[in-house]
Amino acid sequence: MDTRIALIGIIVENLEATGELNKILHEFAGYVVGRMGIPYKQKGVCIISVVVDAPQDVISSLCGKLGMLDGLSVKAVYSKQNISREGN
């Protein structure tokens, strides 16, 4: 199965959405390579970066579900190459 590496950037402006955000990320945990969250208290937001290695449709589904949450901005940046996920 071909996969792509993507960095998903999330800005959380509604902190009440973090419970649902974490629930969705947990659903896709098998594809998550790493995650980093930075609280930016001066601006009242959190910035989260999530690195995934997944098929294109899975990445799109994850971004779509996250993007539907109120108070979140979500964008993905993709690697240029497809990678075979065999053996993982």
How many structural domains are present in the chain? 1
- Cβ pair 28, 62 in contact under 8 A: yes
State the residue range of the domain holding 66: 2-79
Confidence label for 74 from pLDDT (cuts 50, 70 and 90): very high
With respect to residue 84, please indicate whether it lies within any of the assigned structural domains: no
Q: Is the pLDDT of residue 59 over 60?
A: yes
With respect to residue 88, please indicate whether it lies within any of the assigned structural domains: no
With respect to residue 33, please indicate whether it lies within any of the assigned structural domains: yes
What does the chain look like in DSSP terms, one character per residue?
Answer: -EEEEEEEEEEES-GGGHHHHHHHHHHTGGGEEEEEEEEETTTTEEEEEEEEEE-HHHHHHHHHHHHTSTTEEEEEEE-SS-EE-TT-
With respect to residue 15, please indicate whether it lies within any of the assigned structural domains: yes
With respect to residue 66, please indicate whether it lies within any of the assigned structural domains: yes
With respect to residue 85, please indicate whether it lies within any of the assigned structural domains: no
Convert the pLDDT of each residue in 8-48 to its tens digit: 999 999 999 999 999 999 999 999 999 999 999 999 999 99
With respect to residue 26, please indicate whether it lies within any of the assigned structural domains: yes
